[in-house]
Chain A
Amino acid sequence: MSNNQESWGSRLGLILAMAGNAVGLGNFLRFPVQAIQNGGGAFIIPYLVCFLLMGIPLLWVEWATGRFGGKKGNHSTPFILHELDPGRAIWKYIGVFGIFTNIAVAAYYCYLESWTLNYVWMFIQGSFNGMGQEGVAEYFGSYVSLSGSSTAIYFWLLCLFLNTYILSRGLSGGVEKAAKVGMPLLLLFGLFLAYKGITLKAGEFGAILDGTVGLNYLWTPNFDSIWNTKVWLAAAGQIFFTLSVGMGSIQCYAAYVRSKQDIALNAMSAGWMNEFVEVVLGSSILIPIAIGYLGVDRVVELTQSGGLGLGFKTLPYLFTQWGPLMGAVAGICWFGLLFFAGITSSLAMGTPVMAFLRDEFGWKRGQSAWAFGLIVLVLGAPTVFFFNEGVFDEYDYWAGTVSLVVFAFFEVILFAWVFGMDRGWKEINEGADMRIPVFFRWVIQYITPAILFAVLMASIPDIVSKIQNPGNAYIVGARILLLALYAGIAYAVYVAYRRRVLSVGQGKVNK
């Protein structure tokens, strides 16, 4: 049935694409804020423990299930999960999360990505020079509220087009090439900005404090915090979002790995690369520069609402303090690296959708890429036009937060307890270029599901509260759209399954 015969061009390309999938805007905007709010330097202890006990095991589980499904011609989670336990129909419909999440997240993420592209353009033009801090913040406000200009819409369409075009070029010809260009540039821009952040001197270019004051604030450990459950949940949440686990995109990428090719070492390499970008670069840019200009108290106040405001409303103004040339270079590097972080992730969101259409309905690569672009256009439009009404955040909450945890919990249960740890462990180790400590077998079976269960249970009060207090009609509309999307994909999976059953039946008759 499948005409889906793609594969990765090179091992390094695969690792860069996987790392690019994981590295996102959160590495630079979310991690440092989470660290500040959860014990400073001490946050790294629960963070790395969660990486070891939840992040790495989930990476191996997702790479292994992906490659297992790929061996049988399945490249999207509904039928990858079905392959692990063909006797139960339910897994196909849980696997729907692996397509739903990618579409729903891409719907708002591409818009976010387009902001970075617009800001790069603004810095190239020198538009922020002489604007003042209030002016830069107001620009962001008017940009997202679409007041007086359609620029945001044009950049959003441009971004959608770029994503769709690259996807239509295929895995090795599009996604892999984008990762090979984007990831090295991201690292280069990040290293440059980290150097500028760390070496920022009080009294130079209007800075009031050294960059090391910000580093000191971020890394000073408050060890009391590690006894706080909320800090552990924050660390688990950060690991979850930063690695892009629970989305279905890792399984899809891994499904195109050759059947006996290593996954154990590849997963570790891609996972640690993401950690390097987050812990080393992510901690050395936003906070040191912001505190250097605004002081600790002001930055703590600004980070109450997350890192997005600091990154888009404040940092552009601070860059202009470095003079027209250096300010432009810094601005292009900052928003350029955010753009590369974003696009390498959104490309990973398109691939499972395309894989499903190609595997199950025999669509051509170009057709499935443009179909993905069209779906994201339709579903993303409410996040663009009703951003201030909370639609963007609503998508982010249900698709980009809750769905990930639910899906990851079920997939690890399926892998460790239904597929079975004996087969699962064999699958992870097949063709491995590294020896995985047996300790992880026990972790995957008991510890990772337990942590995921705890994260899921801890989210329930918030989920209930959200359901009970929707806020406004736009948010209710967004929820209906998301439910309709899930139902639509589930129906497509049902139709695809019927087609498979029919084709097998016809095969038998022909025999």
Chain B
Amino acid sequence: MSTPALITMLLAQGTVTFFTLYFLFKVLRSPAQPEESENP
């Protein structure tokens, strides 16, 4: 692969993978929210 293509791919895929994992872990580590009656 050419260097510009490789850099673009790694930057794009790296950014997307980072944020996907970051937000997923943030969800999994968030405290459980209290149960409540949902619909009136």
Task: List residues of chain A with CB under 8 Å of any chain B CB.
Answer: 2, 4-5, 7, 11-12, 15, 40-42, 44, 48, 70-73, 212, 215-216, 218-221, 256, 258-262, 265-266, 268-269, 272-273, 275-276, 279-280, 283, 431, 433-434
Contact = CB atoms under 8 A, between A and B. Distances in A.
Interface string B1-21: 110111011001101110110
A269 B23 contact: yes
Contacts of B28: 12
B31 to A, nearest CB: 8
For the residues of A in contact with B, the DSSP-based class is: helix
Contact size class for B? 20 to 34
Contacts of A272: 16, 19-20, 23-24
B37 to A, nearest CB: 9
A421 to B, nearest CB: 24
Given A220-B2, A220-B4, A433-B30, A273 B36 contact: no
Given A7-B38, A262-B33, A265-B26, A276 B4 contact: no
Contact of B36 (A48, A259, A265, A268): A259
Nearest to B32: A11
29 contacts: A5-B38, A5-B39, A7-B39, A11-B33, A41-B4, A41-B5, A42-B8, A71-B40, A73-B40, A219-B12, A220-B8, A221-B5, A221-B8, A258-B35, A260-B33, A262-B30, A265-B27, A266-B27, A269-B26, A272-B16, A272-B24, A273-B24, A275-B20, A279-B12, A279-B13, A280-B17, A433-B26, A433-B27, A433-B30
Given A219-B5, A265-B26, A259 B38 contact: yes
Shortest beta-carbon contacts, A-B, top 5? A41-B8, A219-B9, A276-B20, A219-B5, A269-B23
Given A5-B38, A259-B36, A221 B4 contact: yes
A89 B13 CA distance: 45
A434 B22 CA distance: 12
A434 B30 CA distance: 10
A13 B38 CA distance: 17
Contacts of B27: 11-12, 15, 265-266, 269, 433
A302 to B, nearest CB: 21
Interface of B: 1-2, 4-6, 8-9, 12-13, 15-17, 19-20, 23-24, 26-28, 30, 32-36, 38-40
A220 B2 CA distance: 8
B8 A44 contact: yes
Contacts of B20: 269, 272-273, 275-276
A397 B12 CA distance: 30
A186 to B, nearest CB: 14
